[in-house]
């Protein structure tokens, strides 16, 4: 009888070892999202330089924090998670295990995703400056520029990165939204004539629209709004990508350009994309960003309205969630927290 038990235990042990080996070697198409570092937009970056440096305009100090938050990830097409790591992540409340295509869309390499994240960060910095200066009623001018040309699309070889888009079918455009709306009125196979300025000279280029992966008419260009500001604003965040720090950049610029303190000396953190008009948009990884903020010492977290339902369910103890619909609304909310006067919008 004892020998049977010994054999059974031996077989079971071997099976466990085999399963462990298989689990450690079996890649799965998931990515682990984890709390990342946070950075104070009013302070210094990793190099000891001002994270946001403004030249040519009076600036005012603030001893508080306006931290943007990040999410780090493990996994991806080139280094997939093994099964056991994914299972551990599912059991860890600080980690989110999401399908790989959430971070790496199909047909896009990790390099392409990284390049897109870098572009989004650059654009978010520009847009954050525009939103802040508009909030402060400081005049700025805008132009639409070709940021990238997609290979194999109608614009390939006809337009170039850096071309300024002046008009679509004779209608002048000053914002990406206006250009996109005009092009979107065409059907697949229709012709569209764009006027671009290159090396100081305008030229007209007629393109035939093609179908995108989802069937929309496209010519294969990525456009961005470029702004001319009356003074210099440099934002240095290091190796961080994506658009989700836009709100915090805007708040820091407003804080630096106005007397007094938006933070009241408090540790404020938050997240959210920003448009040039000051609209705050949703982001991914809200749970991990809240955890990162609380660990860093934040007591108030500015939360995009669309993220509020998920944020309210996972709010860390000691972290006050403040709903941010617009840049102006976020400023008013912070003023209400500091003065104790007025209503502070919450996430429930």
Of 39, 124, 244, 261, catalytic: 244
For residues 120 and 70, give the distance between their C-alpha atoms in angstroms, rounded to a whole number. 14
For residues 146 and 135, give the distance between their C-alpha atoms in angstroms, rounded to a whole number. 27
Look up 2 and say whether it is catalytic: no
Look up 289 and say whether it is catalytic: yes
Of 39, 124, 256, 289, catalytic: 289
Q: Return the ∠ at Cα 197 (arms to 170 and 114), rounded to 5°.
A: 105
Residues with active-site annotation: 244, 289
């Amino acid at each position: 009888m004892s020998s049977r038990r010994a054999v059974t235990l031996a077989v079971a042990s071997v099976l466990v070892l085999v399963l462990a080996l298989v689990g450690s070697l079996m890649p799965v198409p998931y990515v682990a999202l984890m709390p990342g570092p946070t950075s104070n937009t009013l302070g210094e970056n990793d190099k000891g330089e001002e994270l946001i440096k403004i030249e040519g305009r009076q600036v005012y100090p603030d001893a508080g924090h306006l931290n943007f938050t990040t999410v780090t990830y493990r996994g991806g097409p080139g280094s997939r998670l093994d099964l056991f790591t994914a299972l551990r992540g599912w059991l860890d409340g600080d980690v989110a295990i999401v399908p790989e295509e959430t971070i790496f869309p199909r047909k896009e390499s990790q390099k392409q995703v990284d390049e897109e994240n870098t572009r989004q960060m650059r654009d978010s910095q520009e847009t954050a400056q525009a939103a802040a200066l508009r909030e402060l009623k400081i005049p700025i001018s805008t132009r639409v520029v070709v940021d990238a040309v997609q290979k194999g699309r109608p614009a390939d070889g006809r337009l170039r990165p850096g071309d300024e888009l002046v008009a679509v079918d004779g209608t002048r455009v000053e914002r990406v939204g206006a250009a996109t709306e005009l092009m979107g009125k065409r059907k697949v196979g229709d012709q569209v004539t764009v006027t671009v300025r290159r090396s100081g000279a305008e030229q007209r280029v007629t393109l035939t629209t093609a179908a995108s992966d989802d069937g929309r008419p496209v010519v294969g260009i990525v456009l961005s709004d470029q702004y001319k500001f009356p003074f210099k604003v440099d934002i240095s965040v290091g190796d961080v990508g994506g658009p989700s720090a836009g709100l915090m950049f805007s708040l820091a610029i407003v804080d630096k350009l106005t007397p007094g303190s938006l933070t009241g000396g408090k540790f404020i953190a938050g997240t959210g994309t920003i448009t040039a008009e000051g609209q705050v948009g949703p982001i991914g990884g809200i749970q991990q960003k809240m955890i990162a903020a609380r660990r860093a010492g934040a007591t108030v977290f500015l939360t995009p309205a669309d993220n509020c339902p998920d944020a309210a369910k996972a709010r860390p103890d000691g972290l006050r969630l403040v709903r941010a619909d617009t840049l102006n609304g976020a400023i008013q909310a912070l003023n209400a927290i500091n003065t104790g006067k007025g209503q502070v919008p919450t996430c429930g």
